[in-house]
Amino acid sequence: MAFVEDFTPIPLEDTNLFKPIRVGDCMLRNRIVMPPLTRMRAHYPGNIPNRFWARKYYDQRSKSPGTMIITEGAFISPQAGGYDNAPGVWSSEQMTEWKSIFKKVHENGSYIWPQLWALGRAAYPEVLKRDGLRFDSASDGIYMDTEMESKAKNCKNLQHGLTKVEIKQYIKDYIHAAKNCMSSGADGIELHAANGYLINQFIDPISNKRKDEYGGSIENRARFILEIVDDLVQEVGSEHVGIRFSPYGTFGTMSGGENPTIMAQYCYIIGKLEERAQKGKRLAYIHLVEPRVTNPFLTEGQGAYSEGSNDFIYSIWKGNIIRAGNFALHPEIVEELVKDERTLIAYGRYFISNPDLVTRVAKGLPLNRYERDKFYVMSEEGYTDYPTYTEALSLGWSNA
């Protein structure tokens, strides 16, 4: 391990990034957010958060009091899953582990919001088949790619467009999951509507070819997400719900900025969220993956989409906005973005490798490099063993 080379940090402690802000019921002391980061260390069977390491991992990253942590994506039900080592939030066994994680983060004076996740066509069809589950999406047979198509065909679990009854069941599962999180001590929940997963598959015409009221037009493609939001708000309160979008994302074979109707689609959805907000049901925040990162599996800078920006959302949505996408190495951009009163910045990959990221951003300290090959492996290595800055210096790392 080593520090990132060719990076000139800027201390940001005197900028708005370190000005307190309210998000839902949480009084944050800084505007740095740890975004959802799947790490594939949960136990199989049962999708249980890792009993040995997960609490330590979140503890390390929440040490700076008043920091907002969004958890890795957590499945709302077995049917929403399809990865054996990602955690869930539907069972009491899972919630026992989550409770102890939430408690630890709160002991540090920080806040934690689980991200509610349903994979849809990004799941492994053979894993679902093994467990007697469907391979769901918005539409029949519109596969993410040819590899998924052949996997689905080989295991005879063809991609299935949800029936209306099944859509209602998913909504119930979101509610059940959100209530589980809230009653276990979470500060709120984030709906994962980004990065090509199930909700995004309904939003995007590339994957939604439905002919009923859930497809075929901008209004119809927005229906699933708005129904989920309305029921969630009813059950847990708008201040406890945030939502994540990736308007320019191409990950999961989504359209991205090349399709001009996508921007109109997001204007419509966000307009509907603002309409609800003005009637007293303002969500805690909207979380945006920036066009700076259209696919987080590429290296920083690669795959950036330069023909558009998320700035239009500020003209529609008047609440808090979290922005994510290659900001850790660009403090000069962060300095500009946080000049308003409602922008928070999420740092993904460098929160993996820098447990004390908040302090480093404040002081303008060097950053630990991350090890991509350890993002998703069942090991404590690459998970809880990244040193703080002080530890790195005592290990002899040089920041020359």
Element (H, E) at 339: none
Asked if 353 interacts with ligand FMN (CB under 6 A), we say: no
Question: Which range touches ligand FMN (CB under 6 A), out of 8-16, 21-29, 31-39, 76-84?
Answer: 31-39
Distance of CA 388 to the CA centre of its chain: 24
Asked if 382 interacts with ligand FMN (CB under 6 A), we say: no
Nearer to ligand FMN, 39 or 210 (CB): 39
Q: What token pair was written down for 229? A: 């939001």
Are 129 and 155 spatial neighbours (Cβ–Cβ below 8 Å)?
Answer: yes
Q: Which of 55, 240, 349, 360 binds ligand FMN (CB under 6 A)?
A: 349
Q: Which of 120, 161, 196, 348 binds ligand FMN (CB under 6 A)?
A: 348
Q: Which residues contact 365 (CB under 8 A, 6 or more apart)?
A: 9, 359, 389, 399
In angstroms, what is the minimal distance from the CB of 352 to ligand FMN?
Answer: 7
Question: Which range touches ligand FMN (CB under 6 A), out of 130-138, 140-148, 277-285, 323-331?
Answer: 323-331
Give the orientation angle of helix 164-183 with respect to helix 223-236, to 10 degrees.
30
d(CA 333, CA 329): 9
Nearer to ligand FMN, 312 or 375 (CB): 375
197 annotated active-site = yes
Nearer to ligand FMN, 16 or 353 (CB): 353
Which residues ranging from 53 to 72 are in contact with ligand FMN (CB under 6 A)? Answer: 72
In angstroms, what is the minimal distance from the CB of 117 to ligand FMN?
Answer: 7
Are 364 and 12 spatial neighbours (Cβ–Cβ below 8 Å)?
Answer: yes
Q: What token pair was written down for 49? A: 């958060």
End-to-end CA distance of the chain: 15
Nearer to ligand FMN, 2 or 298 (CB): 298
Q: Which residues contact 134 (CB under 8 A, 6 or more apart)?
A: 79, 128, 157, 160, 166
Q: What token pair was written down for 13? A: 């402690």
- What backbone torsions phi and psi does residue 198 show, to the nearest 5 degrees? -50, -50
Asked if 325 interacts with ligand FMN (CB under 6 A), we say: yes
Nearer to ligand FMN, 147 or 373 (CB): 373
3 state DSSP class of 289: strand
Given the residues 143, 197, 248, 266, the one annotated as active site: 197
Asked if 368 interacts with ligand FMN (CB under 6 A), we say: no
In angstroms, what is the minimal distance from the CB of 249 to ligand FMN?
Answer: 9
Q: Which of 31, 244, 282, 360 binds ligand FMN (CB under 6 A)?
A: 244
Ranges of beta strands (E only) in 140-196 are 159-161, 189-192
Sign of CA dihedral 28, 31, 35, 41: negative
Asked if 37 interacts with ligand FMN (CB under 6 A), we say: yes
In angstroms, what is the minimal distance from the CB of 44 to ligand FMN?
Answer: 17
Bridge-based pairing state of the strands 189-192 and 111-117: parallel
Are 173 and 80 spatial neighbours (Cβ–Cβ below 8 Å)?
Answer: yes
Q: Which of 24, 36, 366, 382 binds ligand FMN (CB under 6 A)?
A: 36
Nearer to ligand FMN, 160 or 248 (CB): 248
Size of the site for ligand FMN (CB under 6 A): 23
Region at 115 (left for phi over 0; alpha for psi -120 to 50; beta for the rest): beta
Catalytic positions, please? Answer: 197
User: Where do contacts with ligand FMN occur on this chain (CB under 6 A)?
Assistant: 35-38, 72-73, 115, 192, 194-195, 244, 289, 293, 296, 324-328, 347-349, 375
